[in-house]
Amino acid sequence: MDVRKQVVDSLLALADIKVGGSNPWDIKIYDERTYEWVLKSRNLGLGEAYMEGFWECERIDEFIYRILKARLDEKVKENLNNLLLYLFARLFNLQSRRRAHQVAEEHYDLGNDLFTSFLDPYLQYSCAYFRDTEDLAQAQINKMELLCTKMELKATDHVLDIGCGWGGLAKYMAERYGCSVVGINISTEQIRFAREFCKDLPVEIRYSDYRDVSGNFDKVVSVGMFEHVGQKNYRIFMEKVHQLLKDGGIFVLQTIGGNKSTVNCDAWIAKYIFPNGMLPSIAQIGKAVEGLFVIEDWHNLGPHYDKTLISWHKNFVQAWPKLKENYSERFRRMWEYYLLSCAGAFRARHIQLWQIIFTKIGTPQPRYCHR
């Protein structure tokens, strides 16, 4: 037996995964190069092998869940390429002003036809809140309402939405609460859509890096953007929010987070989905706000992201017959692997989703924290 196959099969067995087995999380390997790629490049090799059609699995989300729950990712040694990526991220600012545009161009500008095919009507490309519902659209409204409740939003507020996406949250806040909103973004496709989406509302959509924003705001919110800020810029980001937020104001941050501090992202995600992305840890966020903000509340909604991703995948599969005119079969496999592997990672509690309430020192505690 090939030694590489023996090693991989033995590792998978530790997670109750069998090659050629009958369980939904078992995998079928069609190309023996899978073993070499996994041992050489770990998670990057596993994802690339799937994109090439080297292996299949009925439930990729369950497959990844079991791998991460058994911590198999820690049992395969780092290779030289991974170590070089780590050192590069440690030494250089991968999320500088110039490099920050890369993720907008390569991911968020892929095409609005893709994102509108699987997202809810408010185009919320972030974790929903499935409280008392199984419906994605209602769960996203629940999420936006929860953010507004935590901000104590009112009609007289002037709100900054950092990384406003397609403008869904800005639209909801303006429609539901009558407040004025400034949304900032660096994705040209999202900005174009958001301006039309929020037309005739007190919403201004600006093309701006967060480092260049000026003004004073009663409330600041940022959803699903902090993952692109990078550890070398966390303090800069928080200092900018502190500068923009009026005394007595509230800042609510929603971000995916990691269980330990790192300087780079999952290799496959960084290469194919979110260039230069990285997930902050509790320690890194705490250090970034030290002396600037009081952390009033830290809410973990991680299990809701599992359900969100499964809902997105279901919608994507249903929409594929139309999408395939503009996207390749390799793209389909990449996108499905992205959605389902991330669902598995949240299910395994390998990554988290946090909503965090911040106030300036001296601000009365927000009402939500009295619950």
- Provide the residue type at 174 as one letter: A
Q: Which burial class, exposed, middle or buried, applies to 20 when counting CB atoms under 10 A from its CB (0-12, 13-18, 19+)? A: exposed
Q: Do 95 and 232 meet the contact criterion of CB atoms below 8 Å apart?
A: yes
At residue 361, φ and ψ (nearest 5 deg) are -60, 130
Annotated catalytic residue 342: yes
> Which runs of E-coded beta strand occur in the chain?
27-29, 55-57, 158-162, 180-185, 203-207, 217-223, 245-258, 293-300, 351-360
Phi-psi region of 33 (alpha: psi -120 to 50; beta: other; left: phi over 0): alpha
At residue 223, φ and ψ (nearest 5 deg) are -125, 120
Dihedral angle of Cα 64, 116, 107, 224, to the nearest 10 degrees: -70
- Provide the residue type at 189 as one letter: E
Q: Do 129 and 143 meet the contact criterion of CB atoms below 8 Å apart?
A: yes
Catalytic residue, chosen from 57, 198, 265, 342, is 342
- List, by residue number, the catalytic residues: 342
